[in-house]
Amino acid sequence: MKILIVGGGTGGTILANNLARRLTNELKSGKARITMLSASDKHMYQPGLLYLAMGKMTPDELYRDQASLLEPGIQFHVDPVEEFMLDKNQVKTKSGKTHNYDIMVIATGSRMFPEGIPGMVEAAETFYTEETALKMFKRLQSFEGGKVVITVGVPHKCPMAPLEITFMLNDYFKDRGIADKVQLHYTYPIGRVHALENVAKWAAPEMDKLGITYDTFFNIKEVDATNKILRSEEGVEIKYDLLITIPAHKGMEVIEKNGLGQNGWIPTNRTKLNVEGRDNVFTLGDTTNIPISKAGSTAHFEADTLGENIAAMVKIGMPVREYDGKVFCFIEVGKDRATYAMFDYKNPPDPKAPTKAVHWFKLAYNKLYWISARGLL
Amino acid sequence: MAERKIVDGRGSFCPGPLMELIVALKSSQVGDELEVLSTDKGSVNDIPEWINKVGHEYIATTEADGVWHIMMRKAK
């Protein structure tokens, strides 16, 4: 049984390791083979970018060699897929090689797309790549006061990022001693400060307490970088001195080019995680069009499900369980407190009051992630 | 030609049905009809409120077997 995993991010890596452990004997006997094709020989801990933008991590802390994270027995190639031939159970890579598969998992992830809003790339700071996070930190360090506006595009990776960056900025300016010269103004696309109602119920009073102002029902339409004005679809204008954006995201270009899904999101069965219309092609993480959070934990829990199911398909010819929509997100509330939200398709989250203990656990998880990626946690 | 699209936001607490609608509208044409499916009762108020605020056309809301169907037309 040839298992092909396309993509070496969080979901693809956890899945590959999970499968390699479940299929140790099959890999040894040659009954199964696991191949991973990735665009990079490095693996990035993406949540670390938030800390990079705030000067609390450095770039070297974000990376490991991808090969060092993978179980022995996984055949790893830095050779991204360029062509998917689902009817032939084949893919073609950038180097021109063709790989056959019996089961394929597409885990190519997503990318930020600030270009979708006129003026945004020129005007705004963001932190979704190493380069932009470092640029944002340098910009913050030279900022001496004024109105800082946070905008949120949809869909975006990491649903807690808008709140986290806002609360962290509040503490950052306090620590620099310029909080009295800074007005933080938060915007959000729907009629409350967060998509999760219970998170919004907790976050809005926190903002009120800290003097952070906000506009809801604010969907960014364009940025006038010359005059430093934001305009929303709803007809509201906001002046800014420093603009920080959580940019809208798209799936990867290769998905769109191969006609696998509009905007790079692949139509996916929400419990079985197979690509619609295909029994032997699965997808997970940001790559799916499932209407849940684009977050590392989503990819992680989906990878756990697929690990069990694909191993069972090798051993007994059928999957054994369904994905229940589980998501877990830490929420950093400034520099020294945090809480979390956990939910699934049927149960909404019920976030508790932020504590220092949860913040410390999040800092610990920033290191523990590498164990997670190895499929051990 | 105008299309009719289903936006399946059932079971979505985050980002939620309204966010799914906002995303779907980006790749829709003026005149297209969109039907949002939601298992969150809050959508019954949130979604029409946003539709009216932005200036799209709200058509109707129905409920069947615990799923709310909210119909709208992209107006601009």
pLDDT tens profile A72-100: 999 999 999 999 999 999 999 999 999 99
User: Where are the CATH 3.50.50.60 domain residues in chain A?
Assistant: 2-109+252-326, 113-249
Q: Which chain A residues contact residue B54 at CB under 8 A? A: 219, 233-234
- Residue A372: its pLDDT value, please? 94
Q: Across chain A, what does the average pLDDT equal? A: 97
Q: Return d(Cα A10, Cα A303) in angstroms, integer.
A: 9
Q: Which of B13, B14, B27, B53 is catalytic?
A: B14
- Residue A287: its pLDDT value, please? 98
CATH topology of domain A2-109+252-326: FAD/NAD(P)-binding domain (3.50.50)
HEC states along A247-307?
CCEEECHHHHHCCCCHHHCECECCCCCEECCCCCEEECHHHECCCCCECHHHHHHHHHHHH
pLDDT tens per residue, chain B (76 residues)? Answer: 678 899 999 999 888 999 999 999 988 999 999 999 999 888 999 999 999 999 999 999 999 999 999 999 999 9
Q: How does DSSP assign B22-53, residue by residue?
A: HHHHHT--TT-EEEEEES-TTHHHHHHHHHHH
For an interface test with A, the pick among B10, B14, B43, B56 (most A C-beta atoms closer than 10 Å) comes out as: B14
Residue type for position A1: M
Output the domain CATH number for residue B16: 3.30.110.40
Residue type for position A215: D
Judge contact between A105 and A4, C-beta under 8 A.
yes
- Residue B1: its pLDDT value, please? 67
Give backbone dihedrals phi and psi of A12, rounded to 5 degrees, phi first. Answer: -65, -40
Please answer yes or no on whether B11 and A195 come within 8 Å at the CB atom. no
| Domain limits for position B52 | 4-73
Q: Which chain A residues contact residue B13 at CB under 8 A? A: 195-197, 292, 343, 348-349
Residue A237 has which token pair? 């204008």
- Residue A375: its pLDDT value, please? 87
CB count in 10 Å sphere of residue A360: 12
Which residues of B lie inside 8 Å of A (Cβ-Cβ)? Answer: 8-20, 22-23, 26-27, 42, 46, 49-50, 53-54
The 3-state DSSP class for residue A65 equals strand
pLDDT tens profile A164-216: 999 999 999 999 999 999 999 999 999 999 998 889 999 999 999 999 999 99
| Catalytic status, residue B14 | yes
CB pairs < 8 Å spanning A and B:
70
The answer to whether residue A105 scores a pLDDT higher than 90 is yes
Closest residue of B to A220, CA-based? B22
Report the percentage of chain A scoring pLDDT > 70: 100
- The CATH label, of 3.90.420.10, 3.50.50.60, 3.40.50.2000, 3.40.50.720, for the domain at A113-249 is 3.50.50.60
- Residue B60: its pLDDT value, please? 97
Please answer yes or no on whether A291 and B18 come within 8 Å at the CB atom. no
Please answer yes or no on whether A217 and B9 come within 8 Å at the CB atom. no
The answer to whether residue A150 scores a pLDDT higher than 70 is yes
How far away is chain A from the Cα of B20, in angstroms, using its nearest Cα?
7
Domains held by chain B: number? 1
pLDDT average, residue stretch A257-274: 97
